[in-house]
């Protein structure tokens, strides 16, 4: 009996030492990770005082109209018809940098929050699609040159934007960066449920808690313990595969009239945006996919984000992500110019 306890004790000691060594190794390996320099407002995306509103050639104001919360950018020399509305991802940002860049190119733009602000859901759960009606109301009341309307969303913002286009025909064009073809669960694990709601009902969703435990262990738990990058892709894929009614959780885009442009990295490690873009195109054959080899979920840095307590694998290499960022901007610009004549 003593020998058994001794062996168990020895195994535990070895495992602890191994974990300790791996954590030190990963700290060293990823010490220079996150070449991506986030703007200051990423420290608190809901603090509007952190956003730079003094922009050459562009007037920037904050819009507080019911559930419409975010920034309006008006170029002093507007050179394109209509509007571009931008949404960020699960971090809760309004995609300020994209709206700013497009405004500097002569588009009137909005950088809008999906959640976390006044009159909105405070977490990414049960976000009502109807809040877009406040956006449409504001546009109709305050902007004469308000057509066409393009909506640009990234990651969870792309999931949101595609849902909006399935309900609101006022949207003429969609730009989906790292899109989702499914409705997934929200990211509030204390008040768990769908990411989205419509007319008071949660939209059917893929439950990521029901993914394979082996996948969860291999890609999230163990990497978190040894401080190596966490990858969510297999967890999302497993949740889809294990859901016998996954077809009912697809975002209904068959009858979406908007022109759809999808931008994806083929090495996306957050979720399989390329496969889901293909799913969207199956339903809506006119949708266009531009994919970039060896690029990840976000076209920046070396594919690993260092968020302090955890590291997240987003995919891609520095060279491929930089190339995809440059080329995708040209693709987006061409798409907008074609549809905002």
Q: What is the pLDDT of residues 173-192, one digit of tens each?
A: 999 999 999 999 998 888 89
Q: What is the pLDDT of residues 109-124, one digit of tens each?
A: 999 999 999 999 999 9
Phi-psi region of 47 (alpha: psi -120 to 50; beta: other; left: phi over 0): beta
The partner residues of 295 in beta bridges, in order of sequence, read: 316
Note the pLDDT of residue 12.
59
Q: What is the pLDDT of residues 40-84, one digit of tens each?
A: 888 889 999 999 999 999 999 999 999 999 999 999 999 999 999
Measured CA to CA, the distance from residue 85 to residue 4 in angstroms comes to 65
Cβ neighbours around 196 below 10 Å, total: 26
Q: What is the 3-state secondary structure (H, E, C) of 31-94?
A: CCCCCCCCCHHHHCCCCHHHCCCCECCEEEEEEEECCEEEEEEEECCCCCCCEEEEECCCCCCC
Note the pLDDT of residue 217.
78
Q: What is the pTM of this model?
A: 0.91
- For the CA atoms of 35, 39, 43, 44, what is the dihedral angle to 10 degrees? -150
Q: Residue 261: pLDDT above 60?
A: yes
Q: Per-residue confidence at 27, pLDDT binned at 50, 70, 90?
A: low
Three-class SS state of 301: coil
Q: Per-residue confidence at 281, pLDDT binned at 50, 70, 90?
A: very high
- DSSP H helices, 85-178, are 96-104, 132-142, 156-167
Q: Residue 31: pLDDT above 80?
A: no
Enumerate residues 6+ apart whose C-beta is below 8 A from 156.
89, 90, 114, 124, 180, 195
For the residues 228-243, what does the mean pLDDT come to?
91
Say if CB 107 and CB 74 are below 8 A apart.
no
Q: Per-residue confidence at 18, pLDDT binned at 50, 70, 90?
A: low
| Nearest CA-CA partner of 27 in 248, 169, 226, 249 | 226
């Amino acid at each position: 009996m003593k020998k058994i306890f001794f062996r168990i004790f020895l195994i535990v000691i070895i495992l602890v030492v191994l974990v300790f060594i791996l954590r030190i190794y990963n700290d060293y390996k990823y010490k220079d990770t996150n070449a991506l320099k986030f703007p200051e407002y990423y420290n608190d995306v809901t603090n509007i005082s952190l956003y730079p509103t003094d922009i050459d050639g562009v007037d920037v104001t904050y819009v507080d109209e019911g559930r419409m919360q975010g920034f309006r950018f008006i170029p002093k020399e507007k050179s394109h018809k209509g509007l571009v509305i931008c949404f960020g991802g699960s971090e809760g940002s309004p995609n300020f940098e994209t709206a700013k860049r497009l405004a500097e190119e002569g588009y009137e733009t909005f950088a809008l929050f999906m959640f976390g602000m006044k009159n909105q859901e405070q977490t990414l759960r049960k976000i009502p699609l109807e809040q877009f009606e406040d956006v449409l109301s504001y546009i109709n009341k305050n902007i004469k040159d308000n057509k066409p309307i393009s909506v640009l969303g990234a990651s969870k913002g792309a999931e949101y934007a595609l849902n909006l286009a399935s309900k609101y025909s006022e949207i003429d064009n969609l730009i989906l960066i790292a899109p989702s073809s499914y409705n997934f669960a929200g990211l509030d694990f204390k008040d768990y449920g769908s990411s989205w709601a419509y007319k008071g009902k949660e939209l059917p969703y893929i439950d990521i808690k029901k993914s394979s435990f082996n996948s969860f262990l291999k890609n999230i738990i163990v990497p978190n313990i040894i401080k190596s990058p966490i990858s969510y892709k297999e967890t999302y894929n497993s949740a889809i595969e294990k859901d016998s009614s996954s077809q009912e959780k697809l975002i209904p885009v068959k009858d979406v009239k908007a022109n759809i442009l999808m931008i994806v990295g083929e090495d996306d490690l957050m979720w399989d945006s390329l496969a889901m873009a293909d799913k969207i195109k199956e339903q809506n054959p006119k949708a266009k996919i531009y994919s970039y080899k060896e690029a990840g979920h976000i076209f920046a840095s070396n594919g690993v984000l260092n968020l302090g307590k955890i590291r997240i694998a987003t995919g891609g290499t520095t060279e491929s992500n930089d190339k995809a960022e440059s080329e995708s901007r040209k693709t987006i610009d061409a798409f907008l110019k074609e549809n905002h004549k």
